[in-house]
Amino acid sequence: MGAKYLPTAKDRKADQRFQRQQNPLHKLNRSAANQAAAAAKKAKKK
């Protein structure tokens, strides 16, 4: 077998960036939840 590959910090960051691009659904869900929370806050103020 070859040498064991140890990802550097740069590799890990690039991997995280790639993962975020792969699942835009995750981002959409988060923003939808934030909008719902903001709407609830507004409703509470009135």
Handedness of CA 25, 26, 28, 32 (dihedral sign): positive
What is the rounded radius of gyration, in angstroms, for the C-alpha atoms of the chain? 19
Query: pLDDT tens across 10-36, in order?
Result: 999 999 888 887 776 665 666 666 777
Say if residue 9's pLDDT is above 90: yes
Angle at 43 (CA atoms; ends 38, 46), nearest 5 degrees: 130
Q: Encoding tokens for residue 18?
A: 């790639």
Report the C-alpha gap between 40 and 46 in whole angstroms. 10
- pLDDT at position 20: 82
Q: Could you give the count of Cα atoms lying within 13 Å of 23 in the half-sphere of its Cβ?
A: 7
More confident residue, 5 or 26: 5
Q: Is the pTM of this model over 0.75?
A: no
pLDDT, position 27: 59
